[in-house]
Amino acid sequence: MPIEVPTSSDRNLVVIKVGTSSLATTEATSGIPCLDKAAFQRIGAQVIELHKDNDVVIVTSGAIAAGMGKTRMSERPNPETQMEELQRLASVGNINLLNAWQSALGLIVVGGLLLTRLDLERRDNNCLLYTSPSPRDGLLSRM
């Protein structure tokens, strides 16, 4: 079931999904993932341009990769057996991810929600996703 987000009459809502592979790279010597600041700046410049005439929401991955970089971990934990570790990494990395977006987007307001696939699949949780923060107010961050 599609979710309707109200828009003002003169502005369209543009939703952009940016995946981890677009935002992170791997350190050549250590194999540890790190956020690619140049990628954020490149995408951010495009978002700033879009934002002039549109409301923009970014749905972004990258929190786990950012957490792996912060904790110097080169091997991604297995989601079948180490979900708690993935959640820990996402929690640690989400701060760096949002800071990277804020740096790239300048004065555009940035905020975030840290979501898992389960959060999106459970209908009883979904009402919380659309009440705070407003999709019009910033950026949604997804694991």
Question: pLDDT by residue (tens digit) across 90-122?
Answer: 999 999 999 999 999 998 888 888 777 777 777
CB of 31 within 8 A of CB of 74? Answer: yes
Q: Tens digit of pLDDT for each residue in 27-55?
A: 988 999 999 999 999 999 999 999 999 98
Full-prediction pTM beyond 0.85? no
First-to-last alpha carbon distance for the chain, in angstroms, is: 22
Choose between 133 and 55: higher pLDDT: 55
Distance CA 60, CA 105 (A): 14
How far apart, in Å, are the Cα atoms of 91 and each of 38, 39, 69, 122?
A: 23, 22, 13, 21
